[in-house]
Amino acid sequence: MSVCRLTATAMLIAALASAAPALAQPGWGRPGWGSSAYGGWGASRAQPRNTAQDSREGRVDTAHFVADDAGDALGHGPIAVVAAPEEGGDAQAPGERAYYEAAVVDQLVKAGYDTTTPDPDGGQVAELRIVREMLVPQEAKRKPVSGEAMMGVSNRGTMTGMAIAVDLSKPKKALVSTRLEARLRDRATGKALWEGRAEIATREGDAKWTDQAIAGRLAAALFAHFPEPSEGRVASR
């Protein structure tokens, strides 16, 4: 018996040309080619929706560091929030950065700082950096319908079969990392007193993770145990 496989573009032509002869063949003591045992013409299988979630999605990782000689300088007094110099990555636009600055101000107030009357000659400065980096690019578009037809000829007649795969799932958006970094310095000396970073991975366009929601989540995680360190300490500088 000779068998040939046709691509999806030839399936319709093959079906119209072969359906009548195939259905006209007598039973051969086994299920016919039009029966469900072989899939039959028009048989289809729906592909399960790709719902596997990246283990990083929605998880927040944090780290905090306190200077050896910070003493009791943290958690009180006037403080001003400013943008830190950019050091690579895809930084947020000024309009988006406003959400992060507001969220950090809220956390600093909860920690005991005065953010309304910063001292231009003293107090502390909170330098913020918001960096976005792509972790996984957006998935490519899929063909919603695909399939395969098979035709064969033997001494008992012709046979025809076709299978259609239906995939209605949407391709996943890009997985993006957003990292909020903060460094608290003594304004007069420039010495770093405390540093922290919080990072989360989210899908672009996810209604749950707007810029405001991400900013609030990262800021809350960043200052959750302020000013306690979580991973280590940095020397005074």
Q: Sort 214 into a burial class: Cβ within 10 Å, 0-12 / 13-18 / 19+.
A: buried
Let me know: does 107 contact 226? Beta carbons within 8 Å: yes
For each of the chain's 237 residues, which pLDDT tens digit applies? Answer: 444 444 444 554 454 444 444 434 443 344 443 343 333 333 444 444 455 677 888 899 999 999 999 989 999 999 999 998 766 544 556 677 899 999 999 999 999 999 998 888 899 999 999 999 999 887 677 666 666 667 777 777 777 766 766 655 677 888 999 999 999 999 999 999 999 999 999 999 889 999 999 999 999 999 998 988 765 333 333
Go through the domains of the chain in sequence order and give each one's CATH number: 2-25+32-42+141-166 (no CATH), 60-137+173-234 (3.30.160.670)
